[in-house]
Structure 1
């Protein structure tokens, strides 16, 4: 990890990739602000991190699929004295064709992936530009590069995150503020255990498609302070996105698209 100091704010911080970001940044000495829906779990995680790493941790319980709670976090960010790293990680997926799924869940997904990412980033930018440094990590997905039935808004919102991040980095060139869109593939976490992902069978996916969150986060943090917007952890997924014409690439990509349409 490049040596960047200061406070890091992480959404979706109570489990999975978000929790791993918290652990690795705490180990590097960063003060943390953890945002997630489950207050009790956040408090337990705060106590664990403070005891193990001797760093200050602030918790901010919030459901960022709700516009009023996005607004409250925006106000909180605007009131901070400094912010070095913002990680927009909170997200979820669904299973099923658009016309047959719960419309409220689709609206929540778009709100969380698109509006929350945009509004929190916009809130952090003035402070980061004034400081002359900062890093924004928007957690996207390998799904941003594929299309398929069964989770159309997930693919679409992650594609938005990639485009948003690329364009924003152009705006920020020379400012000392860097933007990354982290695009993991299948990652061991609680993501696929949510009720919205009912029907997904983890065991049916080849083991070589899965990565531990530790590796995903380690690769992301290796690019702190560098103008590399799209970060794809894992050699296999890099090959998939590059579109190499071999069975090793085509088969996982076809399987991924089929599961999006399941």
Structure 2
């Protein structure tokens, strides 16, 4: 049997990342697991080796730290066995915009956008050269819902969607599949870490259901996968409307309504 590609997963010690690791291990993929909590990574890797007989490497890293991020980039550039990147690491926002500190803003933006982009940039040239591979970016429906009230977090997730769509246009002709996964509320530790109490929430998806749905989208090669969305035509209509704007935006003059008086 041909050896399956290795998958590198960030934020792999718990939640969505750990569940992705379990699912890919069951499929027979070797893994590189990246997170800050080495003890949890080691426990997860030991279990997956035993359950699925795959090779699991652990790479402890805080992706907001430049040296740690650089180490993961090096692994992605140099390890030809890694053909799938799951860009999952992220942090949520607790409180409104005026409650954020410079440090909390910097960490959120760095982890949710800068680190994700740099890791994709590290692996993409090698995948293009090979003519195959996949990059999966975990975003959020909050990225197109400012009404949800998490302005900075939502902005970072809007970035993830835009970046994924742009990368798909650029890289798919070269054999690279790029998927944006947009969960709604999911029952993971990200809430607790942000200081948000979810004990009374009844509208959160279980993480296993979320990842299983995302993998159905992955296998179907969907460009944007929104697990909680029952009517896929609603996303298609939104995207079609967006594309319909493009020809109207390429104009040499301001619209008539802006040339009139008050």
**Structure 1: runs of 5+ lacking an equivalent:** 245-262
Q: Does 1:91 align with 2:90?
A: yes
Alignment of 1:24-173 (within 5 A): 24-148=23-147, 150-173=149-172
1:189 match: secondary structure: coil
Q: Which residue of 1 aligns with 2:207?
A: 213
Q: 1:153 to 1:4 in 2, by over 3 A?
A: farther
1:186 match: secondary structure: coil
Tell me whether 230-239 or 77-86 shows the greater mean CA deviation: 230-239
Q: Which runs of 4 or more aligned residues in structure 1 lie more than 4 Å from their structure 2 counterparts after TM superposition?
A: 236-244
Q: Quick check: 1:67–1:111 contact (8 Å CA) kept in 2?
A: no
TM-score normalised to structure 1 length: 0.84
Shift of 1:243: 9.4
Shift of 1:203: 3.2
Q: 1:111 to 1:237 in 2, by over 3 A?
A: farther
* C-alpha distance in 2 between matches for 1:57 and 1:89: 17
Q: Which residue of 1 aligns with 2:244?
A: none
Query: Could you tell me which of 186, 199, 205 is aligned with 1:203?
Result: 199
Shift of 1:224: 2.8
Q: 1:189 to 1:129 in 2, by over 3 A?
A: same
Q: Quick check: 2:172–2:178 contact (8 Å CA) kept in 1?
A: no
Q: 1:100 to 1:16 in 2, by over 3 A?
A: same
**Structure 2: runs of 5+ lacking an equivalent:** 239-262
* Cα-to-partner distance string for 1:175-196 (whole Å, 9 max, x where unaligned): 22110110011112111111xx
TM-score normalised to structure 2 length: 0.84
Shift of 1:219: 1.7
Q: 1:225 to 1:4 in 2, by over 3 A?
A: farther
The count of residues paired between Structure 1 and Structure 2 equals 237
Q: 1:238 to 1:211 in 2, by over 3 A?
A: farther
Aligned Cα RMSD in Å? 2.3
**Greater Rg by CA:** 2
